[in-house]
Each structure stands twice: as structure tokens, then as C-alpha cells.
């Protein structure tokens, strides 16, 4: 955990993947994050594998550097506690539809009456100004609607989902950026601010950086889609003994690659030396590369490309990453002793800035309730009453939840 956001207090009402990914980033950067969960817990706690029902692997990998308060916000006593927390917070983050947040009492209009300087950042599936603002949305739905599933179609033209929760994680990055900007604004002015980062719009804007292509211009200079990325020859190439990824990119690299494979006749060709012509003829160049790569082993290509400073890589399977030499050098995978889950392997934050404190492992459901409530002035007896009434949940003992 870094100390870049030390002193910033965040109330995190997010669940599943998108929101918790965003608030974990903020926690990694040093913010104090209180994860406010329903009494039944974040639904992603149940996703397997895991030793205990409420401590699945996905949850563990999305909720480090947070404390957990499990509370029934729909209960008047629960909302009263939330108001105390809002009064001391800098930022409230949620991933609900705006109407749902309003019904729960954590919409921006109400929050700023509780804390006139609050920042509120949220994401829903679709922006509040659009006709679909009330539609439910998860990663698969947004992958399909954004065009990503079609862009990832197989050779038969059948759309496919990308095999990672990309819409949630791209949305999470946008939500984290929105929160950081809101923090700066709030810290400078002390005024309330609301920032919306809708999931659909975030993924479409992310994709359109390169895919808007010819439709960037009016009238259009072609269709949508970045031709280099859409080439059927853009792929890891088969070698004598496996696969390799090669990417000559600039003119020098392309000329050198052609010399390496014995195509000196192309060294002065305009499709190699003119970046515009190279872009137009990328299919031809990639086809030449595919045929040439098949004549050597993966190791030979990696050695040759590195000697000539041409970007290249072996093609790792997921299991290979834990043996990657560079990742070992930087210590990306860490062994963490969790208080209820025992020995675990965690992926640390990729950010680095000076020294860092030890990360807090993802909390058990309601594990920090007593400490959090005492900090906002709730007495021991009142905590016991809230627990007995089912307004808050707390773990019975280590490992039982």
C-alpha cells in the first residue's frame, strides 16, 4: 500500500467486480476504504474456488486494503450509521443505477445534505441521460452491446466474449480515474461534486480510440475498424516448435526484419519505407512474416529479434506467468498469510512510488464493524443492539464465515 492518498476517506458501496476493482486501486494508493456491504455480503464472495462460502478467490483479489462493515442500509438505524460515516468521508463510491442509490438514501442529492463537501462517484450500465439508464448490465451484456463480442468473432463469424471480465475492469479503471479527479476537485474547493462513469460509454470510448478509424472524418474516409488489428494475419505465428509474437513496427524494424529473412529486395519498397503505404498493405507484410517465422524455432526467433531490437515475446499460458522471470524480479506475485484463509498467493498493485506499507488482505464479512462504529461514536452497548437486531453482521470467529 502506497501513501499517495493517505488521509482520504472513501465509503465503498460497490459490489461484484467493477466497483471493487476501482476502490481497490484507491486503497492501493493509500486511501482509507470502508467497504459497506449488505448483511448478506457482496455477492462475489461466493464465487469459487475458496475455502469458505464468503471468501472466494475472486473476492480476495478485488478487496485488499479495505475494511468491511456489513450493515442493512434499508433499516433506519443502519442508514443513521451510514450518515455518520458520510459525515466523516471525502468520497462515496457505488455501482448502482442512480434510482437505486436514491431509494437507498445514498444518492448525491441526499449525500450532500449530510456532508456539504462530499464527492460522489458512481457507475451504472448506462448513462443517466440516455433512454437505457434503468437497464441492468453486467460484463457479458456490455461486451455484446459495445461491439467487442462481434469484433472478437471466430473464423465462422460467430461473436465471442473475451475471456476476461474486460467490460467490468475497463469500467473500474474509469471509475477509479473519476474518483481521483473528484478528490482533487473536492480537496481544492471543498465543494460537493458528482462524477458519473457509465460502463457502456466507458467501454465504447475505450474501443473507439482506434476503431473509429475512417468514421473519424465527415464525410468518412472509410469504415470503422483499425485495419492492422483486423488483419487475419495478426496473430502469434507458428514456429518450428511452438508459437511466437513478433511486431516490427517502425520503418527501421521492418527493413531489418526483411533483411533477416533474406528479402533484401523489399528494403526500399514503399510498402516498407512509407508509413502510410505500410498501413495500407499490412496484410501483405504480415503474410510474409507468417511464412518466414515457420522456418525457425521460437528460441531462435527470440534471440534474433532481441539482437535487432525488434519487439517479440514467447506466448505464455496463464500458468507460465508465475514463472516469468521479469515478474519474479519485480515481485508481482506475493505470498500472503490471510487471517482466515491461510497461505494465499496475491498479485500486488502494479504501482510503485518510494516505500510501501504492507497490504491489508481482503476482509471477512463485517470484520471491522466494531472498530469502524466506535470511530464514529457508536457505543459498545449500541453496537450490541445493532448486532442483535440484525442491522449489522460480524464474524463469529476466525474462518467460520
- Would you state the pLDDT for residue 234? 94
Do 280 and 154 have their domain in common? no
Do 366 and 249 have their domain in common? no
In a domain, 225, yes or no: no
In a domain, 272, yes or no: yes
Do 170 and 241 have their domain in common? no
- Would you state the pLDDT for residue 208? 98
In a domain, 39, yes or no: yes
| CA distance linking residue 246 with residue 234, whole number of Å | 10
Do 369 and 281 have their domain in common? no
Q: Which of 314, 346, 380 is the last residue of a domain?
A: 314
**Which domain does 78 fall in, by range?**
9-206+355-393
Q: Which of 259, 286, 314 is the last residue of a domain?
A: 314
In a domain, 118, yes or no: yes
In a domain, 339, yes or no: no
Do 277 and 361 have their domain in common? no
Do 18 and 92 have their domain in common? yes
Look at residue 116 and tell me whether its pLDDT is greater than 80. yes
From residue 216, give the alpha-carbon distance in Å to each of 194, 220, 229: 30, 7, 17
Residue identified by cell 475458496 is 50
Do 179 and 268 have their domain in common? no
> How many CA atoms, within 13 angstroms, populate the side-chain half-sphere of residue 232?
4
Residue 242 contacts residue 296 (beta carbons within 8 Å): no
- Would you state the pLDDT for residue 76? 97
Residue identified by cell 522456418 is 295
- Tens of pLDDT, residues 202-254: 999 999 999 999 999 999 999 999 999 999 999 999 999 999 999 999 999 99
- Would you state the pLDDT for residue 397? 59
Per residue, the 3-state secondary structure of 10-77, as one string, reads EEECCCCCHHHHHHHHHHHCCCEEEEEECCCCCHHHHCCCCCCCCCCHHHHCCCCCCEEEEECCCCHH
Q: What percent of the chain has pLDDT over 90?
A: 96
Residue, of 400 and 50, whose pLDDT is higher: 50
- Tens of pLDDT, residues 128-171: 999 999 999 999 999 999 999 999 999 899 999 999 999 999 99
- Tens of pLDDT, residues 349-368: 999 998 889 999 999 999 99
Tally of structural domains, the chain: 2
Give residue 327's Cα distance to chain centre. Answer: 19
In a domain, 285, yes or no: yes
Number of residues assigned to the chain: 401
Do 129 and 264 have their domain in common? no
- The residue-averaged pLDDT of 269-278 equals 94
The DSSP line for 153-172 is --TTS-----SS-HHHHHHH
Closest CA to 271 of 261, 289, 262, 283: 283
In a domain, 54, yes or no: yes
Q: Which of 260, 293, 314 is the last residue of a domain?
A: 314
From residue 386, give the alpha-carbon distance in Å to each of 6, 15, 95, 156: 30, 23, 26, 58
Do 72 and 194 have their domain in common? yes
Residue 3 has what DSSP assignment? S
Question: For residue 43, what is the domain's CATH number?
Answer: 3.40.50.10540
Residue, of 267 and 93, whose pLDDT is higher: 93
Look at residue 399 and tell me whether its pLDDT is greater than 60. no
Do 64 and 182 have their domain in common? yes
Do 114 and 250 have their domain in common? no
Bridge partners of residue 71, in order along the sequence: 392
Do 243 and 199 have their domain in common? no
In a domain, 301, yes or no: yes
- Would you state the pLDDT for residue 201? 98
Residue 247 contacts residue 285 (beta carbons within 8 Å): no
Question: For residue 251, what is the domain's CATH number?
Answer: 3.30.1540
Residues 6+ apart with CB under 8 A from 247: 310, 311, 312
> Prior bond to 219 cis, omega within 30?
yes
Amino acid at each position: 500500500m502506497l501513501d499517495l492518498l493517505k488521509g482520504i476517506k472513501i465509503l465503498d458501496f460497490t459490489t461484484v467486480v467493477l466497483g471493487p476493482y476501482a476502490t481497490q486501486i484507491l486503497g492501493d494508493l493509500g486511501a482509507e476504504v470502508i467497504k459497506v456491504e449488505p448483511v448478506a455480503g457482496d455477492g462475489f464472495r461466493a464465487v469459487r474456488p475458496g475455502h469458505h462460502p464468503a471468501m472466494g478467490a475472486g473476492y480476495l483479489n478485488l478487496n485488499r486494503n479495505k475494511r468491511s462493515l456489513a450493515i442493512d442500509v434499508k433499516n433506519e438505524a443502519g442508514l443513521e450509521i451510514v450518515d455518520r460515516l458520510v459525515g466523516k468521508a471525502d468520497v462515496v463510491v457505488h455501482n448502482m443505477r442512480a434510482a437505486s442509490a436514491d431509494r437507498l438514501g445514498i444518492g448525491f442529492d441526499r449525500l450532500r445534505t449530510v456532508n456539504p463537501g462530499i464527492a460522489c462517484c458512481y457507475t451504472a450500465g448506462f448513462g443517466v441521460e440516455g433512454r437505457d439508464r434503468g437497464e441492468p448490465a453486467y460484463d457479458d451484456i456490455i461486451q455484446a452491446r459495445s461491439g467487442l463480442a462481434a469484433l472478437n468473432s471466430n473464423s465462422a463469424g460467430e461473436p465471442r466474449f473475451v475471456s476476461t471480465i474486460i467490460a467490468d475492469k475497463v469500467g473500474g479503471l474509469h471509475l477509479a480515474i473519476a474518483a481521483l479527479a473528484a478528490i482533487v476537485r473536492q480537496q481544492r474547493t471543498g465543494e460537493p461534486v458528482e462524477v458519473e462513469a457509465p460502463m457502456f460509454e466507458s467501454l465504447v470510448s475505450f474501443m473507439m480510440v482506434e476503431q473509429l478509424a475512417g468514421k473519424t472524418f465527415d464525410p468518412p474516409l472509410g469504415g470503422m475498424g483499425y485495419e492492422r488489428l483486423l488483419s487475419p494475419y495478426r496473430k502469434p505465428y507458428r514456429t518450428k516448435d511452438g508459437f511466437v509474437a513478433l511486431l516490427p513496427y517502425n520503418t527501421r524494424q521492418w527493413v531489418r526484419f526483411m533483411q533477416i529473412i533474406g528479402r533484401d529486395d523489399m528494403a526500399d519498397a514503399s510498402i516498407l519505407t512509407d508509413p502510410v503505404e505500410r498501413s495500407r498493405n499490412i496484410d501483405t507484410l504480415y503474410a510474409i512474416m507468417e511464412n518466414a517465422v515457420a522456418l525457425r524455432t521460437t528460441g531462435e526467433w527470440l534471440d534474433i529479434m532481441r539482437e535487432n531490437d525488434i519487439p517479440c515475446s514467447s506466448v505464455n499460458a496463464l500458468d507460465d506467468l508465475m514463472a516469468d522471470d521479469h515478474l519474479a524480479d519485480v515481485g508481482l506475485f506475493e505470498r500472503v498469510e490471510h487471517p482466515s484463509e491461510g497461505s494465499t498467493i496475491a498479485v500486488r498493485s502494479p504501482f510503485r512510488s518510494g516505500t510501501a506499507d504492507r497490504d491489508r488482505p481482503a476482509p471477512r464479512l463485517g470484520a471491522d464493524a466494531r472498530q469502524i462504529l466506535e470511530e464514529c461514536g457508536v457505543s459498545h452497548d449500541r453496537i450490541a443492539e445493532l448486532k442483535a437486531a440484525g442491522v449489522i453482521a460480524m464474524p463469529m470467529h476466525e474462518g467460520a464465515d
